[in-house]
Amino acid sequence: MSIKLVFLFTLFSFSVLGDGDGNSGKYPIVVSTWPFTEAVRAAWRIVDSGFSAVDAVTEGCSACEELRCDGTVGPGGSPDESGETTIDALIMNGVTMEVGAVAAMRYVKDGIKAARLVMEHTKHTLLVGEKASAFAIAMGLPGPTNLSSLESIEKWGKWKENRCQPNFWKNVEPLHSCGPYHPKGNMDLGVAACSQENLMGIIESSSSHIGLHNHDTISMAAIDKMGRVAVGTSTNGATFKIPGRVGDGPIAGSSAYADDEVGACGATGDGDIMMRFLPCYQVVESMRQGMEPILAAKDAISRIARKFPDFVGAVVAINKNGVHAGACYGWTFQYSVRSPGMEDVEVFTVQPLNSSCNLICNK
Ligand SMILES: *[C@@H]1O[C@H](CO)[C@@H](O)[C@H](O)[C@H]1NC(C)=O
Ligand SMILES: *[C@@H]1O[C@H](CO)[C@@H](O)[C@H](O)[C@H]1NC(C)=O
């Protein structure tokens, strides 16, 4: 009798522990960067009624585009240097490893739907610029649409008045006007690439452009009732970016990654830096090697922080058991989760890794 009791008690405590961690270990589950709770609710309704993870992230990211989450997703935000808003988006099916993405897409507001059209109706992975817009419109999305808003135009006007500061240029002259910019000195392009600053290995950061109210990306992961994994991202990029700039948003492995056998990851932050490290690919591969989500997330962020101590960013990881965790650096990060054990979407807060102890005491 006592053996049976111990056995029951053991089962019971495991399930209690699991709930205490916020991980019920059951599908479906939806995870998103930031407190984008309406987007997560929209995705949850889809997976909870039996539709696929791909459908869920499409619906969730679409909701964020329509709500213009933080002004950094969908139309009407993040004007570039010429005042225009463009869209970057990606979707990935972790069952087939198919990816569809659009980058610097003009005149079309439905980023995630355009990305899905690329994934499902072409053999390509990424379409860019005006050609991406033409594709999306030809495939039935509304457009051409003016993606500017009164707010984005006003913001851009103020930036122009402030002599176009801050901006994303470096090693250029004139330093204190709105351009046109030229490489500093009389160097040709080849010499400029080997400028003294680069030789000295000084690493510059554009993190000052990313603030608490410039969250910059929705990156969402879903696991549906059948255990299928998908991720989606959508953003209008960095405010006052140089026209043509594409960030981490539409880059598979950087802003998001999904593999049915392992789990998924979503990222947000200083995309120009993060895309050099493919942090979400790193997170998923670490989990494949057996690392828990929390360690995989911290490891991916630490790798970037060691090279760019001023960068700002975060990742959220989820494995096939429904265990989720986040890690961040340079700012406090929040991510949203909806799983069967929850009454509604729950928001988790993650404290930044501590650089003063070389990121080791956080491990
Ligand atoms: C687009 O919309 C903005 C904000 O409403 C407006 O200032 C701008 O003139 C419009 N552009 C065009 C080409 O209609
Ligand atoms: C970072 O860690 C060090 C050593 O443990 C501690 O003294 C310091 O207060 C921490 N800083 C923050 C911001 O947590």
Model pLDDT for residues 45-85, shown as the tens digit of each residue: 999 999 999 999 999 999 999 988 877 888 888 999 999 99
Beta bridge mates, 32? 220, 336
Least confident of 71-75, 189-193, 197-201: 197-201
Where does the pLDDT of residue 6 fall: very low under 50, low under 70, confident under 90, or very high at 90 and above? very low
* CA 117 vs CA 43, 68, 174, 182, 228: distances in Å: 18, 21, 43, 39, 19
DSSP letters, 24-90, are: ---S-EEEEETT-HHHHHHHHHHHHTT--HHHHHHHHHHHHHHHTGGGTSSSS----TTS---EEEE
Model pLDDT for residues 142-176, shown as the tens digit of each residue: 999 999 999 999 999 999 999 999 999 999 987 66
Q: Is 355 in the pocket of ligand 1 (CB under 6 A)?
A: no
Per-residue pLDDT, 42? 98
* CA 359 vs CA 210, 272, 305: distances in Å: 22, 22, 8
Model pLDDT for residues 175-187, shown as the tens digit of each residue: 667 988 989 875 5
Q: Which of 270, 359, 253 is nearest to 310 (CA)?
A: 270
Q: Is pLDDT at 239 greater than 80 in this prediction?
A: yes
Q: Is pLDDT at 21 greater than 60 in this prediction?
A: no
Per-residue pLDDT, 124? 98
Instruction: Enter the pTM of the model.
Output: 0.85
Helical H runs in 166-205? 189-192, 196-199
**Contact of 38 with 347, CB cutoff 8 Å:** no
Per-residue pLDDT, 74? 86
φ, ψ for residue 213, nearest 5 deg: -100, 20
Per-residue pLDDT, 187? 54
Per-residue pLDDT, 168? 93
Per-residue pLDDT, 20? 35
Q: Is 149 in the pocket of ligand 1 (CB under 6 A)?
A: yes
Of 332, 350, 354, best ligand 2 pocket probe by most atoms within 8 Å of the beta carbon: 354
Per-residue pLDDT, 197? 42
Q: Is 164 in the pocket of ligand 1 (CB under 6 A)?
A: no
Residue with the bigger pLDDT between 27 and 315: it is 315
Query: What is the residue type of 55?
Result: D
Per-residue pLDDT, 355? 64
Q: How far is the CA of 347 from the centre of ligand 1 (A)?
A: 36
Task: Give the mean pLDDT of 92-97.
Answer: 98
Model pLDDT for residues 105-145, shown as the tens digit of each residue: 999 999 999 999 999 999 999 999 999 999 999 999 999 99
Q: How far is the CA of 354 from the centre of ligand 2 (A)?
A: 6
Task: Give the mean pLDDT of 286-303.
Answer: 97
φ, ψ for residue 153, nearest 5 deg: -70, -35
* Mean of the per-residue pLDDT values of the chain: 86
Residue of minimum CA distance from atom 13 in ligand 1: 146
Largest Cα–Cα distance of the chain, in whole Å? 88
Of 84, 145, 147, 148, best ligand 1 pocket probe by most atoms within 8 Å of the beta carbon: 148
Which ligand minimizes its atom distance to the CA of 358?
2
Angle between helices 111-121 and 53-67 (to 10 degrees): 150
Which ligand minimizes its atom distance to the CA of 353?
2
Considering the chain, what percentage of its residues have pLDDT values greater than 70? Answer: 82
Q: How far is the CA of 142 from the centre of ligand 1 (A)?
A: 17
Q: Is pLDDT at 43 greater than 90 in this prediction?
A: yes
Least confident of 39-48, 64-73, 192-201: 192-201
Catalytic annotation present for 217: yes
Q: Is pLDDT at 335 greater than 80 in this prediction?
A: yes
Per-residue pLDDT, 25? 53
Q: Which atom of ligand 1 is least distant from the CA of 146? A: 1
Of 85, 86, 217, 239, which is the active-site residue?
A: 217
Of 86, 109, 153, 154, best ligand 1 pocket probe by most atoms within 8 Å of the beta carbon: 153
Task: Give the mean pLDDT of 310-315.
Answer: 95
Residue of minimum CA distance from atom 2 in ligand 1: 148
Q: Is 145 in the pocket of ligand 1 (CB under 6 A)?
A: no
Task: Give the mean pLDDT of 330-334.
Answer: 94
